[in-house]
Structure formats: structure tokens, C-alpha cells
């Protein structure tokens, strides 16, 4: 069974929401990304893997090179600063690398193509 790019984008939209903006406390929105930093090593690696999923979608969309570079910058900054105890948690609450990367990708979604069926000759 082949999954459409549209299905991946819809799934990525849900992941981004859960990772970066699912909860709201005192007007501060955050997701499970900062909470994963509590688990040394493993939590930050899991968060980075979800970010790499967005990068894979960018590859499938064949976005311009500058988008790849910007996404890599966001992923790297999120990973490197996420490793630092306490500072990484605060950084993850406010930086929201997944939201930034998803916004970069949204410009390249073509709803007519993504929702339609591909008919190969």
C-alpha cells in the first residue's frame, strides 16, 4: 500500500501540533518536545527524528535548496541547545523548530495536486 504525500503532510501537521503547541499554560503554548528533554539523550533524539520526518517531506516536495538549509539550521539548533540541561527545555518551549519548518514547507503544498489521484500511463 502506497501512502500519498497528502497523507504524510496531514500526519506531519498533527505531529507538529503535538510536539510544539499542544498545551497552553498561562498563555504559553508548548508541546511534548520540551518534556522529552527530561529523558537524557533519548528524548532529544526522538524529537530530532520527528524533525527529520519534516525534512523528508521537504525532499519529496523538491523544495529549493535554501529551504533545506534553513530546516537543517532549525533542526540542528533544536538538537544542540536541547541537550543542555534546563536551558534546553526553555529553548524548546519558545523556539518551536517543527512549527518553523512546517511553515517553510506550507508554501510548497499544492492542494490540487496533493488531494488528487495520480494516474500513471
Beta bridge partners of 30: 23
pLDDT attached to residue 111: 60
44-98 pLDDT tens trace: 889 999 999 999 999 998 899 999 999 999 999 999 998 888 888 888 889 999 9
Whether the predicted pLDDT of 116 surpasses 70: no
Q: What is the pLDDT of residue 4?
A: 77
Is the predicted pLDDT of residue 2 greater than 80, yes or no?
no
- Provide the pLDDT for residue 41: 77
Grouping H, G, I as helix, E, B as strand and the rest as coil, residue 30 is strand
SS3 call for 76 = helix
Give the mean model confidence (pLDDT) for residues 6-12.
86
DSSP track, 43-58:
HHHHHHHHHHHHHHHH
Residue 119 has a pLDDT of 47
> Which is nearest to 19 in space by CA: 34, 9, 3, 38?
34
pLDDT, tens digit, 9 for 90 and up, residues 11-46: 999 999 999 989 989 988 999 988 888 888 788 889
pLDDT band, residue 1 (cuts 50/70/90): very low
Residue 55's closest CA among 97, 85, 87?
97
Amino acid at each position: 500500500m502506497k501512502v500519498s504525500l497528502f497523507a504524510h503532510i496531514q500526519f506531519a501537521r498533527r505531529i507538529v501540533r503535538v510536539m510544539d503547541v499542544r498545551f497552553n499554560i498561562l498563555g504559553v503554548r508548548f508541546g511534548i518536545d520540551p518534556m522529552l528533554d527530561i529523558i537524557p539523550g533519548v528524548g532529544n533524539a526522538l524529537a530530532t527524528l520527528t524533525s527529520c520526518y519534516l525534512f523528508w517531506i521537504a525532499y519529496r516536495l523538491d523544495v529549493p535548496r535554501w529551504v533545506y538549509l534553513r530546516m537543517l539550521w532549525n533542526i540542528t539548533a533544536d538538537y544542540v541547545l536541547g541537550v543542555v540541561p534546563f536551558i534546553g527545555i526553555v529553548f524548546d518551549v519558545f523556539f518551536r523548530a517543527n512549527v518553523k519548518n512546517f511553515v517553510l514547507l506550507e508554501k510548497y503544498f499544492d492542494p490540487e495536486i496533493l488531494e488528487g489521484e495520480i494516474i500513471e500511463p
